[in-house]
Amino acid sequence: MRLPTDWLERRKQVTLITGLVCKDSVVFAADSEESGWTKRSVKKVAHNERPFSFLQNVFGDRTPFKIVIAGAGNGVLCDYATQEIFKRVERSQELKEIETKIIEVLEHFFRVVVPLHPSPDKEFELLIGIWGSSLLRPALYSTQGVTLIRRSRYYVCGSGTLIDYILDRSYHAGMSTEEGIALAISMLQTAKKYVAGVGGESTILVLDSDGKIESKPSWEISAEENLSENYARLTGKLFVDLMRTRSAQSGDFEKALKSFAKEMKTLRKSKKKSDEEMDSFTKFLEEKRAKKEVVIELEGVDLSQLSTPEDHQRSAEIFRRNADKLQKYVLPGGVQLDPLQ
């Protein structure tokens, strides 16, 4: 069988990424599905910290600028542009310098790389979050061709008007990180259910005003997406009950309200339980760091060495090779470690 000439790019169209500017952070959200002739799960959000978020929590980081990049559109071009941007801005010291270098990468990319790429479908967009010590909060940018645009609210790449509608009705200036994450959860749950080509595991990543980059665990995202779906079901039913002013019996709406309130309390209880589990895990990591207990041998390299600059590039391979050992000695019982996170 002979495949169409654009098979490669039709196979690698990523679909949804969003950045929300919050009072003290930028929240990134993305699905993980690449669609086309085939579908597969991919990671669409990258950053310039060491690869594994729990190491950041344990050891900290001294990178002068933190950069998060998410891409939608042609997956190959997104990945290559992201790599080139990270290379070019690695030693930058000022925000203006980073902006200039990103534009230079884009100009070279669209002048040289894109014209030579073997596909008629060469469109892609990037969302870029930048933190620096001189900024009160991280800045959010989007790209369109060679244009770099700073965004003050939220911005969506790779989706239709439904996503804009979901965000627009709930987003407000100055919203907290917690509110931004909740809005991202609602958006992802709805998009994966109703928007063609959006699916797979969700990614939510926060770049905060202290320069920390934290990824929300996949198990927690999945649980909260279920909460969002149940909330939508309950509110939809309540609206129908509200509108039954002619056919409803006396007291029916009051009963519906009581049932709704009961269900809402159950959902909130579930959310608080999830919070407690996450807080327990975070506390464990902080205690390990304070007591300097996380020192284990990893085939000749102890874990503390992974925080040094010379080990950044090979830390990913060290981590994958020793994932079982880390699971046994570093993490509390019941917490599963994903070596690809």
220-250: pLDDT as tens digits: 999 999 999 999 999 999 999 999 999 989 8
User: For position 299, what pLDDT does the model report?
Assistant: 52
Q: 172: which 2 tokens?
A: 């407000």
Domain ranges of the chain: 8-216
pLDDT digits (tens, 9 = 90+) for 56-114: 444 455 567 899 999 888 888 888 999 999 999 988 888 999 999 999 999 999 999 88
User: For position 279, what pLDDT does the model report?
Assistant: 86
Of the candidates 41, 71, 52, the residue with the CA atom closest to the CA atom of residue 303: 52
Query: Are 110 and 51 contacting, i.e. CB atoms less than 8 angstroms apart?
Result: no
CA distance 204 to 196: 20
Beta strands in the chain (DSSP E): 13-14, 17-21, 25-30, 33-35, 40-41, 45-47, 65-74, 124-132, 139-144, 147-151, 154-157, 203-208, 213-215, 297-298, 301-302
pLDDT digits (tens, 9 = 90+) for 25-48: 999 999 887 655 344 444 578 887
Q: If one looks up domain 8-216 in CATH, what number appears?
A: 3.60.20.10
Contacts of 118 (CB under 8 A, 6+ apart): 5, 8
pLDDT digits (tens, 9 = 90+) for 242-301: 999 999 898 999 999 999 999 999 999 999 988 888 888 778 877 776 765 544 455 545
